[in-house]
Amino acid sequence: MVAKRHALMDKGEDHCDALIALQHPPVYTLGTGSLEEYLKFDAEDAPFEVFRTERGGEVTFHGPGQLVMYPILNLRRHKMDLHWYLRSLEEVIIRALSAAFSVEACRLDGLTGVWVGDQKIAAIGIRVSRWLTYHGLALNVSTDLAPFADIVPCGIRDRDVGSLHRLLGPRRRAPRSATTFS
Protein backbone atom coordinates (compact mmCIF):
# COMPACT_ATOMS: atom_id res chain seq x y z
CA MET A 1 0.00 0.00 0.00
CA VAL A 2 2.81 2.39 0.82
CA ALA A 3 4.51 1.79 -2.54
CA LYS A 4 1.19 2.39 -4.35
CA ARG A 5 0.63 5.58 -2.37
CA HIS A 6 4.14 6.80 -3.24
CA ALA A 7 3.44 6.12 -6.93
CA LEU A 8 0.17 8.09 -6.70
CA MET A 9 1.98 10.93 -4.90
CA ASP A 10 4.53 11.04 -7.72
CA LYS A 11 1.70 11.53 -10.23
CA GLY A 12 -0.16 14.06 -8.02
CA GLU A 13 -3.06 11.62 -7.63
CA ASP A 14 -2.86 10.81 -3.92
CA HIS A 15 -6.28 11.68 -2.50
CA CYS A 16 -7.17 9.34 0.33
CA ASP A 17 -5.72 8.24 3.62
CA ALA A 18 -6.17 4.73 4.99
CA LEU A 19 -6.30 2.95 8.33
CA ILE A 20 -5.57 -0.73 8.74
CA ALA A 21 -6.84 -2.21 12.02
CA LEU A 22 -5.98 -5.75 13.04
CA GLN A 23 -4.66 -8.18 15.62
CA HIS A 24 -1.36 -9.97 15.16
CA PRO A 25 -0.56 -13.54 16.16
CA PRO A 26 1.93 -13.55 19.08
CA VAL A 27 5.12 -11.84 17.91
CA TYR A 28 7.92 -9.63 19.20
CA THR A 29 8.96 -6.70 17.03
CA LEU A 30 12.02 -4.50 17.24
CA GLY A 31 12.25 -1.03 15.72
CA THR A 32 15.09 0.02 13.43
CA GLY A 33 17.36 1.07 16.28
CA SER A 34 16.20 -1.48 18.87
CA LEU A 35 18.78 -3.12 21.06
CA GLU A 36 18.63 -6.88 21.51
CA GLU A 37 19.69 -6.34 25.13
CA TYR A 38 16.00 -5.54 25.74
CA LEU A 39 15.16 -9.16 24.96
CA LYS A 40 15.33 -11.37 28.06
CA PHE A 41 15.82 -14.47 25.90
CA ASP A 42 18.08 -15.65 23.11
CA ALA A 43 16.61 -14.32 19.85
CA GLU A 44 17.45 -17.67 18.20
CA ASP A 45 15.34 -19.53 20.80
CA ALA A 46 12.49 -17.06 21.28
CA PRO A 47 9.09 -17.95 22.77
CA PHE A 48 7.49 -16.32 19.68
CA GLU A 49 8.76 -15.12 16.32
CA VAL A 50 10.96 -12.02 16.44
CA PHE A 51 10.90 -9.47 13.62
CA ARG A 52 12.96 -6.34 13.06
CA THR A 53 10.64 -3.73 11.53
CA GLU A 54 11.07 -0.36 9.85
CA ARG A 55 9.26 1.53 12.63
CA GLY A 56 10.87 3.60 15.32
CA GLY A 57 10.90 2.54 18.95
CA GLU A 58 12.24 -0.40 20.87
CA VAL A 59 11.01 -3.96 21.34
CA THR A 60 7.35 -4.70 21.98
CA PHE A 61 4.94 -7.62 21.92
CA HIS A 62 1.92 -7.92 19.64
CA GLY A 63 -0.74 -10.56 20.08
CA PRO A 64 -4.42 -11.45 20.26
CA GLY A 65 -6.53 -9.00 22.23
CA GLN A 66 -4.40 -6.06 21.11
CA LEU A 67 -5.84 -3.55 18.66
CA VAL A 68 -3.08 -2.62 16.22
CA MET A 69 -3.70 0.29 13.88
CA TYR A 70 -1.61 1.35 10.93
CA PRO A 71 -2.58 4.82 9.67
CA ILE A 72 -1.28 5.48 6.17
CA LEU A 73 -1.49 9.25 5.96
CA ASN A 74 0.05 11.81 3.66
CA LEU A 75 1.17 14.41 6.19
CA ARG A 76 1.50 16.96 3.38
CA ARG A 77 -2.30 17.03 3.44
CA HIS A 78 -2.39 17.46 7.23
CA LYS A 79 0.68 18.90 8.97
CA MET A 80 4.31 18.15 8.14
CA ASP A 81 5.42 17.78 11.74
CA LEU A 82 6.32 14.39 13.27
CA HIS A 83 6.05 15.64 16.85
CA TRP A 84 2.52 16.87 16.09
CA TYR A 85 1.67 13.51 14.49
CA LEU A 86 2.89 11.45 17.46
CA ARG A 87 1.04 13.67 19.94
CA SER A 88 -2.09 13.45 17.74
CA LEU A 89 -2.02 9.64 17.82
CA GLU A 90 -1.71 9.77 21.61
CA GLU A 91 -4.57 12.27 21.83
CA VAL A 92 -6.90 10.09 19.76
CA ILE A 93 -6.32 7.16 22.12
CA ILE A 94 -6.69 9.33 25.24
CA ARG A 95 -10.00 10.77 24.02
CA ALA A 96 -11.35 7.39 22.88
CA LEU A 97 -10.58 5.79 26.25
CA SER A 98 -12.21 8.69 28.09
CA ALA A 99 -15.33 8.83 25.91
CA ALA A 100 -15.97 5.09 25.61
CA PHE A 101 -14.82 3.80 29.00
CA SER A 102 -14.30 6.83 31.31
CA VAL A 103 -10.64 5.83 31.59
CA GLU A 104 -8.36 8.74 32.45
CA ALA A 105 -5.31 8.13 30.30
CA CYS A 106 -2.44 10.56 29.77
CA ARG A 107 0.99 11.19 28.30
CA LEU A 108 4.16 11.07 30.38
CA ASP A 109 6.85 13.64 29.66
CA GLY A 110 9.66 12.17 27.59
CA LEU A 111 7.88 8.86 26.93
CA THR A 112 5.89 8.22 23.75
CA GLY A 113 2.65 6.31 24.23
CA VAL A 114 -0.47 6.42 26.37
CA TRP A 115 -0.47 5.72 30.08
CA VAL A 116 -2.90 5.06 32.90
CA GLY A 117 -0.91 5.77 36.03
CA ASP A 118 2.44 4.02 35.61
CA GLN A 119 1.05 1.44 33.17
CA LYS A 120 1.54 1.83 29.45
CA ILE A 121 -1.70 0.89 27.74
CA ALA A 122 -0.78 1.94 24.18
CA ALA A 123 2.55 1.90 22.37
CA ILE A 124 3.35 3.95 19.28
CA GLY A 125 6.02 3.26 16.69
CA ILE A 126 5.90 5.00 13.33
CA ARG A 127 7.77 5.25 10.09
CA VAL A 128 7.50 8.19 7.70
CA SER A 129 8.81 8.25 4.14
CA ARG A 130 8.35 11.34 1.97
CA TRP A 131 5.78 12.52 4.55
CA LEU A 132 3.74 9.32 4.16
CA THR A 133 3.17 7.59 7.50
CA TYR A 134 3.01 3.89 8.15
CA HIS A 135 3.31 1.58 11.13
CA GLY A 136 1.36 3.01 14.03
CA LEU A 137 -0.01 2.11 17.42
CA ALA A 138 -0.98 -0.85 19.57
CA LEU A 139 -3.68 -0.61 22.25
CA ASN A 140 -3.78 -3.40 24.82
CA VAL A 141 -7.46 -4.28 25.11
CA SER A 142 -7.57 -7.85 26.46
CA THR A 143 -3.99 -8.79 25.61
CA ASP A 144 -2.23 -11.52 27.59
CA LEU A 145 0.41 -9.36 29.29
CA ALA A 146 2.65 -12.29 30.32
CA PRO A 147 4.84 -12.10 27.14
CA PHE A 148 5.86 -8.55 28.10
CA ALA A 149 7.75 -10.07 31.07
CA ASP A 150 10.25 -11.56 28.58
CA ILE A 151 11.28 -8.13 27.24
CA VAL A 152 11.96 -4.59 28.41
CA PRO A 153 8.90 -3.10 26.68
CA CYS A 154 9.80 0.00 24.66
CA GLY A 155 13.16 0.02 26.49
CA ILE A 156 11.47 1.31 29.67
CA ARG A 157 12.60 -0.61 32.74
CA ASP A 158 10.73 1.21 35.52
CA ARG A 159 7.13 1.08 34.24
CA ASP A 160 4.56 -1.66 33.72
CA VAL A 161 2.37 -2.56 30.77
CA GLY A 162 -1.39 -2.54 31.30
CA SER A 163 -4.55 -3.44 29.43
CA LEU A 164 -8.04 -2.04 29.19
CA HIS A 165 -9.38 -5.40 30.41
CA ARG A 166 -7.36 -5.16 33.64
CA LEU A 167 -8.27 -1.52 34.17
CA LEU A 168 -11.99 -2.10 33.78
CA GLY A 169 -12.03 -5.17 35.98
CA PRO A 170 -14.36 -8.17 35.86
CA ARG A 171 -17.60 -6.14 36.00
CA ARG A 172 -16.89 -3.63 33.24
CA ARG A 173 -15.87 -5.00 29.89
CA ALA A 174 -15.28 -3.34 26.58
CA PRO A 175 -18.57 -3.39 24.64
CA ARG A 176 -18.90 -6.07 22.01
CA SER A 177 -19.59 -5.01 18.47
CA ALA A 178 -23.09 -5.69 17.20
CA THR A 179 -21.63 -6.42 13.77
CA THR A 180 -19.50 -9.44 13.02
CA PHE A 181 -17.37 -9.57 9.91
CA SER A 182 -16.06 -12.78 8.41
Spatial distance between the Cα atoms of 21 and 71, rounded to a whole number of angstroms:
9
DSSP 8-state symbol, 147: G
Share of the chain above pLDDT 70, in %: 93
Catalytic entry in 154, 161, 164, 167: 154
- Reply yes or no on whether 16 is catalytic: no
Q: Where are the alpha helices (DSSP H) in the chain?
A: 2-10, 82-101, 164-168
Provide the pairing of β-strand 119-129 with 160-161. Answer: parallel
C-beta of residue 3 within 8 angstroms of C-beta of residue 26: no
Q: Which fold has domain 2-167?
A: BirA Bifunctional Protein; domain 2 (3.30.930)
Q: Do the Cβ atoms of 120 and 162 come closer than 8 Å?
A: yes
59 labelled ligand-binding: yes
Tens digit of each residue's pLDDT (9 = 90 or more) over 69-84: 999 999 999 999 999 9
pLDDT, tens only, 142-153? 999 999 999 999
36 in helix, strand or coil? helix
